[in-house]
Amino acid sequence: MTRKPLMAGTWKMNKTIGEAVVLAQDISNNYDDRWKDNVDVVVCPPYVDLKPVKTVFEFDRVPVGIGAQNVYWEDAGAYTGEISVPMLTEIGCEWCIVGHSERRGLFGETNEDVNKKVKALIAAKINPIVCVGESLAVRDGGTTLEFVCAQVKAAFAGIDANLAANAVVAYEPIWAIGTGRTATPEQAQEVCKAIRETLAELFGAAVADEMRVLYGGSMNPGNVDLLVAEADIDGGLIGGAALKADSFIQLVNVCL
Ligand code: 13P
């Protein structure tokens, strides 16, 4: 099975609407016709930028998807400050990051929260990008694989195999995020392979073989080749290097 690579840029809490439109336009201007068949390209701007960014890509008719960085699992109601799945659907959002380590660490998101969000997204046919990854303390303690695979099992608990194939897992070691310290291709492959084995336990080998597992953490044009060359790494979830069109485009074009 050859999985189509996915390159997803997350802008985190960066880019006002004006700045977001400029960046989206810059990406659109550099769109390469070969992307369509060879790589799925997605950007995940802040909520308020989603619609303006989508409009740029729609107007230019370029197949770049948009994703949110978070969502709440209830459809509507008294949940001050939250954004629901139907709201994302109406904007034309096809993707949503869930369980990013910054949300887990800074905003108290639990494995149970992640599971509720994944279920709500899958029910609405928005593809979750589920982030998992260990701290330096866990890595140094030698329990990385157990820790990460437990996160994967918790995120997908109670989800049917026939609904899981479009979900994506992003392995993002916390110690590599925004630090310039990337996991080596061997380290990243070891964990991504264990993730795929866990997905096979949950959903069977055929579904696990279809699901994409990404690496994230200081991915940049200098280290991307060796990472995406690994058998179980199907693309990247990119932070800092996705904030400029030229570096993001270089990362995408590696998949051509
Ligand atoms: P950096 O690429 O800036 O390390 O961020 C990775 C990340 O957290 C993507 O979700």
pLDDT in tens, 69-119: 999 999 999 999 999 999 999 999 999 999 999 999 999 999 999 999 999
Write the residue with the smallest CA distance to atom 5 of ligand 1.
239
Of 94, 100, 109, 134, the active-site residue reads 100
For the CA of 102, the nearest atom of ligand 1: 8
pLDDT in the model for residue 1: 61
Q: Is residue 99 part of a domain?
A: yes
> Is residue 99 lining ligand 1, measured as CB closer than 6 Å?
no
Say whether pLDDT at 5 is over 80: yes
What sections of the chain are H helices per DSSP?
Answer: 17-29, 35-38, 47-60, 85-91, 101-107, 111-123, 136-141, 144-155, 161-164, 185-203, 205-210, 224-228, 245-253
**Residue 130, CA distances (Å) to 2, 19, 20, 126, 227 in order:** 21, 27, 24, 12, 19
Give me ligand 1 centre to Cα 10, in Å.
7
Q: Which two tokens stand for residue 217?
A: 């953490």
In-domain check, residue 136: yes
Q: How far apart are CA 5 and CA 210, in angstroms?
A: 11
Place of tokens 């802040």: 46
Ligand 1: distance of its center to the CA of 237 in Å? Answer: 7
100 is catalytic: yes
Determine the structural domain holding residue 179 and report its residue range. 6-254
Out of 171, 238, 247, mutate this one to test ligand 1's pocket (max ligand atoms within 8 Å of CB): namely 238
User: Is residue 217 in some structural domain?
Assistant: yes
226 belongs to a structural domain: yes
Percent of the chain with pLDDT over 90: 99
Residues 6+ positions from 67 with CB-CB distance below 8 Å: 8, 10, 42, 43, 44, 93, 94, 95, 96, 97, 129
Closest Cα to atom 1 of ligand 1: 239
CA distance 176 to 153: 23
> How many separate domains does the chain show?
1
* Percent of the residues in the chain that have a pLDDT greater than 70, as a whole number: 100
- In this structure, is residue 218 part of a structural domain? yes
Q: Is the CB of 217 under 6 A from ligand 1?
A: yes
Establish if 135 belongs to a structural domain. Answer: yes
For the chain, how many residues are written?
256
CB-ligand 1 contact for 238 (6 Å cutoff):
yes
Among 94, 102, 109, 172, the one annotated catalytic: 172
CATH number of the domain to which 234 belongs: 3.20.20.70
Strands 40-44 and 235-238: unpaired
Task: Residue 135: count other Cβ atoms within 10 Å of its Cβ.
Answer: 15
- Can you give the pLDDT at residue 10? 98
Within-domain flag for 172: yes
Quick one: average pLDDT of 56-75? 98
Q: What is the pTM of this model?
A: 0.98
Whether 52 contacts 21, CB under 8 Å: yes
CB-based burial label for 234 (10 Å; 0-12, 13-18, 19+) = buried
Chain mean pLDDT for the chain:
97
User: What is the longest distance spanned by two Cα atoms in the chain?
Assistant: 50
Question: Residue 2 has what pLDDT?
Answer: 84
Query: Is 1 part of a structural domain of the chain?
Result: no
* CA 170 to ligand 1: nearest atom: 10
Does position 165 have pLDDT exceeding 70, yes or no? yes
Question: Does 58 qualify as catalytic in the annotation?
Answer: no
